[in-house]
Amino acid sequence: MKHVLSFAVAFALAALASMGTTEGAMAAGWKLNPALSTVSITSVKKGRVGEAHYFKNIDGGVSVAGDAKVTIHLGSVETGVGIRNKRMGKLLFEIAKFPLATITAKVDAGLGKMMVGSRVKRDLKVHVDLHGIKKDLKAGVYITRISPKAVVVSTAKPMIVKASMFGLAGGVAALQKIAKLPSIATAVPTTFSLMFVQN
């Protein structure tokens, strides 16, 4: 469930990478601005109680060589409840073994020139390494150029991801048991809005 935040960032980074050859942007590279970026999911427990969560510590960018990468520190998950944060880190993400989620993509030229204020939709493919499992994923995103040196990448619509995709179904079951809940959804909607700035 909550693990799905980790790879959502991947689509945004790949989208930024796809802008790489426009107006020399890749010559300088791009860096994620975490203070103005959000990645969140909505989990559902007891079949009817929805809760929003996010990660406090993410970083990333696109190198001059065109290699895009985002790293998410899984122990920084914020659910609004201290004990739940710790349980998710230990039982779901198993941060002692897998402290990070890493998302990579190679620059893909193809958008052409983007004017400030313009917006485009892209379907992207990225590589995700989470909880010891590696997968290639696809999603639709919107890319908006908000200034000559800044872009915002956001989900075109919520992505529904299953815990079993990254071997986390057992962690969800462990959370459900320790919290004494009748159910926790194992498929959740994930959204993001990420700002990247040119170095």
- For residue 103, give both structure tokens: 């998302």
Q: Name the CA dihedral angle for 51, 41, 157, 105, rounded to a multiple of 10 degrees.
A: 180
Give mean pLDDT, residues 170-195. 88
Domain that holds residue 8: 2-198
Task: Please tell me the predicted confidence (pLDDT) of residue 137.
Answer: 79
Where is average pLDDT lowest: 7-16, 54-63, 94-103, 145-154? 7-16
What would the pLDDT profile of 111-167 be if each residue is shown by its tens digit?
446 788 999 888 777 788 889 999 887 777 888 889 888 888 888 888 777 889 889
CATH code of the domain covering residue 116: 2.40.128.110
- On whether the pTM is more than 0.85, the answer is no
Task: Please tell me the predicted confidence (pLDDT) of residue 98.
Answer: 95
User: Which residues, other chains included, contact 64 with Cβ-Cβ below 8 Å and sequence gap of 6+?
Assistant: 26, 27, 28, 29
Q: How many domains does the chain have?
A: 1
Mean pLDDT for all residues in the chain: 80
